[in-house]
Amino acid sequence: MPEGDTVHRTARLLDRSLSGRLLTGTDFRVPQLATTDLSGSTVTATVSRGKHLLTRIDGTDGSWTLHTHLKMEGAWRVHAPGERWRRPTHQARVVLETADKVAVGFSLGIVELLPRDREGEAVGHLGPDLLGPDWDEDEALRRLLEHPDRPIGEALRDQTRLAGIGNMYQAELCFTSGVHPGTPVGEVPDLTRLVRRAKQMLELNKERAVQSTTGDLRERMWVYRRDNRPCRRCGTPVQVQMVGPAGRERASYWCPSCQPAR
């Protein structure tokens, strides 16, 4: 699942490729926008907010924001005109064409077009964005501590507390902080330090094509998806368990020695 740093990189790619360009063709392959045509409009910017992408488009009939979200399998790819797409055509949800680029959003979890002045509806619920220009550590801590009994692993993934962390960074942050993911937020020994580490981890990875939390590009992760393999610090087999509310369970990974349950 793409995390905040991947979405940030995607926003930069779209911004570089499309901003200031006239759309020569658009194709929205979702039922609610099937008849929408924005050709003749100009793309002004693409920004990320947490894991959401906002592409701003100025048309003759007003200013729009195309709101997209990668969810589990989504990706935006930019091709040259006529170039073969890197994912199957039937997965395309949005196609934005300019004179020299074709941006294709594949398997997007959200595709909606909002009048610009309603852009806030798409992202207003988000907590402070770890990679955003308005990052606010105190506000993120305040929001996390609103529910002190909640397991830290779950709270870190809640985008209304702070935005940008998915299942991978959650697991890696709990490990590097020596905290079992089931620990109540209010009992995490140094929550400020954990949140600072979160920002640092995303900042370090936002320019990288391949993510690493260990600093090593071959052994890239401490515990994420390493169940039953030896902990890189102590050798104890890494544990995995499904946690979270029914229907939205996620695999939680931890080292029982480095991250003892409290």
143 in Cβ contact with 224 (< 8 Å): no
Look up 161 and say whether it is catalytic: no
**Of 96, 102, 198, 255, the one binding Zn ion by CB under 5 A:** 255
The verdict on 94 binding Zn ion (CB under 5 A) reads: no
The residue with its CB nearest to Zn ion is 231
Query: In Å, what is the CA distance from 40 to each residue of 66, 102, 103, 124, 197?
Result: 15, 15, 16, 29, 44
Look up 3 and say whether it is catalytic: yes
Short-list 69, 259, 72, CA closest to 168: 72
The sign one gets for the Cα dihedral 40, 41, 47, 48 is negative
Look up 249 and say whether it is catalytic: no
The verdict on 197 binding Zn ion (CB under 5 A) reads: no
**Of 234, 241, 249, 260, the one binding Zn ion by CB under 5 A:** 234
- By beta-carbon proximity to Zn ion, the closer residue of 191 and 255 is 255
Cα-based angle 85, 202, 154 (whole degrees, multiple of 5): 100
The verdict on 202 binding Zn ion (CB under 5 A) reads: no
**Of 117, 189, 257, 262, the one binding Zn ion by CB under 5 A:** 257
The verdict on 233 binding Zn ion (CB under 5 A) reads: yes
- By beta-carbon proximity to Zn ion, the closer residue of 143 and 233 is 233
- By beta-carbon proximity to Zn ion, the closer residue of 101 and 180 is 180
Cα-based angle 202, 74, 246 (whole degrees, multiple of 5): 85
Short-list 44, 116, 115, 104, CA closest to 75: 104
Q: Indicate which residue of 9, 93, 226, 250 is catalytic.
A: 250
Q: Indicate which residue of 9, 49, 51, 101 is catalytic.
A: 51
3-state secondary structure of 3: coil
- By beta-carbon proximity to Zn ion, the closer residue of 18 and 258 is 258
Question: Closest distance between Zn ion and the C-beta of residue 237, in Å?
Answer: 9
Distance CA 148, CA 132 (A): 25
The verdict on 7 binding Zn ion (CB under 5 A) reads: no
Residues forming the site for Zn ion (CB under 5 A): 231, 233-234, 236, 255, 257-258
- Catalytic residue numbers read 2-3, 51, 250
